[in-house]
């Protein structure tokens, strides 16, 4: 129940922030263009909160259904407009002003994404040092000349300080099948290695990580099976295991790392485990019965202990802390926003041409689940999630589908070319088609959500 509550809470926060920023883009530009805004709404349906400042035409409201929002402007097509207010009506504005107001919402989402990414760089992130620890035999990295022990200093001339720093950049290059130039150092020897992603026969980015696609993994020390905490109500707590205990063996099979421990627990057929551990230099034993739980549709055995892998990696000098100044953070933030936008557009084009699976399209359930998990993982993960969602919302609204901002811009383009706006009949038919397409898209997203659950 707490997980569901967190997912719903952080979903509402995420959607609220993104919709508010999107609609504020429309509102801000409309006011700068001299257009009267009658209502600024976050959400649809019945109004649950409203506020209208004195001497203002605008009513600010929060509505019951938090899956969208709108800015309603003074417009002769929607209501009768007094003659003295006609110059401030939306429909009386020149085409460039109307187009700017419509485009301002999606552009606000891209702006927000750049700012959010920039905040993550300012806050700072901890990552693994960019040292190659494992190469897949006959993988792209190995065949290109990269070697175990290489520290990746630059990628296409861009400085690289951690393993994951340029993952968005690499994703774009993988989809484009371009060549990337690595600058690496190994035992004071500096080399330049070119990796051509066009040599990849087939890439499944839905189920494979970037590391798997390239065929290389970071150097990481083994995580020792030292208990950092026990989970309340699980067998380890009931058996008396405590923080600081180091697991030595499971059913007389030696445990040298956290991976050994997880593997032995999951693979054993024994109902009861004999767990031998060291506490203060003294070996002790306990008997406990693992609990079977379901994780992402798979039944796994757990005893309810956790290790502090991050601290062990820090102690082994295997991580670096990345934090940048204000200007560099914003620069990197908007570079990441641009890479994410380009990548999303390429993925979308791949879905349209049936070269990419559409299974990754998610609806409210998937978004809520990811929101909860991102928030649990820390503020930077949640900000990154918001930035990704903001880019997706900006792109979605720019699609040339009537009823979306992109559809309105399509009508404006028609007006610019033909010299006159679409007829009322054309608008009605186009909006009906657009609404149908939007319902189909939402239905498909819901289907994917339910398919993941069941």
- Does 421 map to a domain? yes
Range in 114-118, 150-154, 176-180, 352-356 with the lowest mean pLDDT: 352-356
Q: Which pLDDT belongs to residue 16?
A: 85
Q: Just list the catalytic residues.
A: 23
Angle between helix 326-352 and helix 379-398 axes, rounded to 10 deg: 50
Angle between helix 379-398 and helix 405-418 axes, rounded to 10 deg: 30
Does residue 274 sit in the same domain as residue 387? no
* pLDDT single digits (tens) 290-319: 888 776 556 778 888 888 888 888 888 888
Does residue 299 sit in the same domain as residue 361? no
Of 295, 322, 349, the residue at which a domain comes to its end is 322
Collect all residues with Cβ–Cβ distance below 8 Å to 116 and sequence separation of at least 6. Answer: 333, 383, 384, 386, 387, 390
Chain-centroid distance of CA 76 in Å reads: 41
| Short-list 150, 205, 216, CA closest to 183 | 150
**What's the rounded Cα separation, in Å, for the pair 102 and 22?**
11
Q: Which pLDDT belongs to residue 174?
A: 82
Q: Which pLDDT belongs to residue 202?
A: 64
- Does 82 map to a domain? no
Does residue 337 sit in the same domain as residue 451? yes
332 band by pLDDT with thresholds 50, 70 and 90:
confident
* pLDDT single digits (tens) 23-79: 999 999 999 999 999 999 998 888 899 999 988 889 999 988 877 888 999 998 888
- Does 179 map to a domain? yes
Q: Which pLDDT belongs to residue 1?
A: 47
Q: Is the pLDDT of residue 323 over 50?
A: yes
User: Total structural domains in the chain?
Assistant: 3
- Does 68 map to a domain? no
- Does 381 map to a domain? yes
Q: Is the pLDDT of residue 384 over 70?
A: yes
- Does 93 map to a domain? no
Task: Pick the more confident residue, 368 or 273.
Answer: 273
Q: For residue 252, what is the domain's CATH number?
A: 2.30.42.10
Start-to-end Cα distance in the chain: 19
Of 261, 287, 322, the residue at which a domain comes to its end is 322
Q: What percent of the chain has pLDDT over 90?
A: 30
Q: Which pLDDT belongs to residue 269?
A: 81
Does residue 360 sit in the same domain as residue 448? yes
Q: Which pLDDT belongs to residue 352?
A: 66
Q: Identify the bridge partners of residue 292 per DSSP, sorted by sequence position.
A: 301
Does residue 340 sit in the same domain as residue 409? yes
**DSSP label at residue 289:** -
* pLDDT single digits (tens) 396-443: 889 888 888 998 899 899 889 988 888 878 878 877 887 777 777 666
Does residue 302 sit in the same domain as residue 354? no
**What's the rounded Cα separation, in Å, for the pair 66 and 63?**
7
- Does 197 map to a domain? yes
Does residue 213 sit in the same domain as residue 172? yes
Collect all residues with Cβ–Cβ distance below 8 Å to 37 and sequence separation of at least 6. Answer: 27, 30, 31, 57, 58, 71, 72, 73, 74
Does residue 387 sit in the same domain as residue 453? yes
**What's the rounded Cα separation, in Å, for the pair 274 and 28?**
66
Does residue 359 sit in the same domain as residue 283? no
Of 272, 307, 342, the residue at which a domain comes to its end is 307
* pLDDT single digits (tens) 225-272: 999 998 888 888 888 999 999 999 999 899 999 988 888 888 878 888
**What's the rounded Cα separation, in Å, for the pair 232 and 377?**
20
Does residue 235 sit in the same domain as residue 335? no
Name the average pLDDT for the chain: 84
182 band by pLDDT with thresholds 50, 70 and 90:
very high
DSSP string, 18-39: HHHHHHHHHHHHHHHTTPPEEE
Per the structure, the complete domain to which residue 260 belongs is given by 229-307
Collect all residues with Cβ–Cβ distance below 8 Å to 145 and sequence separation of at least 6. Answer: 191, 193
Does residue 233 sit in the same domain as residue 255? yes
- Strand spans (E) along 130-222: 132-135, 151-155, 158-159, 179-186, 189-196, 216-218
- Does 48 map to a domain? no
- Strand spans (E) along 27-90: 37-51, 59-73
Does residue 445 sit in the same domain as residue 352? yes
* pLDDT single digits (tens) 97-143: 999 999 999 999 999 999 999 999 899 878 889 999 999 988 888 99
Q: Is the pLDDT of residue 206 over 70?
A: no
């Amino acid at each position: 129940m707490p997980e569901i509550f967190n997912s719903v809470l952080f979903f509402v926060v995420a959607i609220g922030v993104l919709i508010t920023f999107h609609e504020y883009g429309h509102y801000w530009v409309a006011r700068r263009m001299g257009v009267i805004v009658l209502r600024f709404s976050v959400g649809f349906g019945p109004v649950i909160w409203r506020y209208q400042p004195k001497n203002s035409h605008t009513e600010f409201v929060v509505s019951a259904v938090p899956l969208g929002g709108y800015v309603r402007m003074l417009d002769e097509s929607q209501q009768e407009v007094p003659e003295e207010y006609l110059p401030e009506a939306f429909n009386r504005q020149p085409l460039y002003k109307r187009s700017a107001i419509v485009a301002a919402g999606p552009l606000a989402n891209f702006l927000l994404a750049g700012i959010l990414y920039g905040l993550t760089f300012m806050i700072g992130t901890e990552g693994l040092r960019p040292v190659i620890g494992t190469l897949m035999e006959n993988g792209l990295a190995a065949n290109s000349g990269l070697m175990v022990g290489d520290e990746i200093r630059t990628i296409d001339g861009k400085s690289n300080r951690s393993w994951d720093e340029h993952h968005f950049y690499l994703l774009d290059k993988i989809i484009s099948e371009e060549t990337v130039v690595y600058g690496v150092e190994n035992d004071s020897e500096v080399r330049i290695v070119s990796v051509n992603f066009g040599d990849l026969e087939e890439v499944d980015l839905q189920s494979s990580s970037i590391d798997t696609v390239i065929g290389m993994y970071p150097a990481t020390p083994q995580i020792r099976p030292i208990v950092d905490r026990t989970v309340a109500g699980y067998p380890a707590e009931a058996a008396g295991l405590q923080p600081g205990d180091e697991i030595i063996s499971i059913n007389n099979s030696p445990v040298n790392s956290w991976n050994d421990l997880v593997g032995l627990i999951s693979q054993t057929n024994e109902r009861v485990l004999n767990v031998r551990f060291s506490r203060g230099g003294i070996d002790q034993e306990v008997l406990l019965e693992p609990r079977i739980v379901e994780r992402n549709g798979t039944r796994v055995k757990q005893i309810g202990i956790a290790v502090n892998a991050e601290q062990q990696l820090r102690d082994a000098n295997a991580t670096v802390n990345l934090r940048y100044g204000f200007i560099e953070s914003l620069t990197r933030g908007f570079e990441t926003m641009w890479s994410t936008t380009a990548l999303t557009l390429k993925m979308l084009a791949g879905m349209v041409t049936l070269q990419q699976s559409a299974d990754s399209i998610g609806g409210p359930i998937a978004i809520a689940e990811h929101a909860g998990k991102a928030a649990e993982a820390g503020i930077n993960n949640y900000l990154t999630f918001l930035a990704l969602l903001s880019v997706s919302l900006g792109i979605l609204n720019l699609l040339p589908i009537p009823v979306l901002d992109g559809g309105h811009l399509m009508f404006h383009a028609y007006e610019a070319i033909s010299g006159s706006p679409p007829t009322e009949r054309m608008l009605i038919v186009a909006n009906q088609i657009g609404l149908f397409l939007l319902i189909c898209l939402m239905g498909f997203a819901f289907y994917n959500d339910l398919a993941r659950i069941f």
